[in-house]
A = this chain, B = another copy of it.
Amino acid sequence: MPISLLPVSVWVYRGLGALSGSCLAERLGHNVQLTDGERAAIDALENDVRQVRRGTMVFAEGEPSRELLIVRKGWLQSGVFMPNGGRQITRVNLPGDIIGWSALAFDEAPETVVTLTDCTLCSVDRTCLSSLFAQQPRLGALLLALAVSERAELADRLASIGRTSARARVAALLCDIVARVRLSQGPDTVTLHVPLTQEEIGDATGLTAVHVNRMIRSLVEDGIIDRSGNFITLKDEARLIAEGNFTSRAEVRTDWLPAPR
């Protein structure tokens, strides 16, 4: 799939007026019960809702980025391109994910983010976030908790890639994806659409597409998963989790957060 290099200004987008703020509210509302004041503060943030086609680069490594994006619909990949032509996918982004955290620490994006499917994204400028911190400290603290949770997921992936076999890496990636898909599609999901090519799975696990293919087939042969087209079905989830040495980081503690205003 060729990646189109459309600059941000060319993105297909539509302002949704009052609706536009609800993206972040919807996301944060997953973790805490928002007060009216908090909801109002979020809705007051300036932002856009954008429809983006598959294969679009929404952040480019080295280019300025000053905003967070919240994924409402669709899948994306965050990654780094290496000088030798390779690529490392650092995260597969699903609906509900916040992407572009690095805008809060750097002026230029350290990662490239590309849509894997058609997506609906909401943007929040980082300067708007500052007023959120000032007015609704609980939401600021929640953002930190979410960022920390992602940090833990990255550490898990690091251990997976650094210290486990090819088969275990693929298993761990599948576990990660399933666990996060369930957050939006329900906890009993066992069959799911995975819009990743085997090459992309390889780029996420530090393997080649050829070897990913062999690992997936071995998982199928051993009755751990089934696969037809881009759909994966879990047949023996316990074994998949055990082989991937997977731990879910889905549940984020919020009891230490300051009281809402």
Interface residues of A (CB under 8 A from B): 66, 78-80, 82-84, 86-88, 90-91, 101-102, 104-107, 110-111, 126-127, 129-131, 133-134, 137-138, 140-141, 143-152, 154-159, 161-164, 205-206, 245, 247, 249, 251-253, 256-259
Contacts and interface: CB of A to CB of B under 8 A. Distances in A.
Given A107-B253, A138-B133, A206-B162, A90 B147 contact: no
15 contacts: A80-B155, A82-B159, A84-B164, A104-B144, A105-B145, A105-B152, A105-B249, A105-B252, A105-B253, A106-B249, A106-B253, A110-B247, A111-B155, A130-B141, A161-B162
Nearest to A83: B245
Contact of A161 (B101, B107, B206): B206
Nearest to A252: B105
Contact of A159 (B88, B140, B141): B88
Number of copies: 2
A260 to B, nearest CB: 10
Contacts of A258: 130-131, 133-134
Contacts of A102: 148, 151-152
Contacts of A252: 105-106
A138 B134 CA distance: 7
A212 to B, nearest CB: 13
Given A82-B245, A141-B129, A158 B154 contact: yes
A162 B88 contact: yes
A205 B161 CA distance: 10
A86 B163 contact: yes
A79 B152 CA distance: 11
Contacts of A162: 88, 161, 205-206
Contacts of A66: 256
Contacts of A155: 78, 80, 90-91, 110-111, 154
A166 to B, nearest CB: 12
B159 A158 contact: no
A126 B256 contact: yes
A255 B259 CA distance: 27
A101 B148 contact: yes
A152 B99 CA distance: 12
A257 B127 CA distance: 7
Contact of A256 (B129, B141, B157, B245): B129
Contact of A147 (B110, B144, B249): B144
A220 B146 CA distance: 42
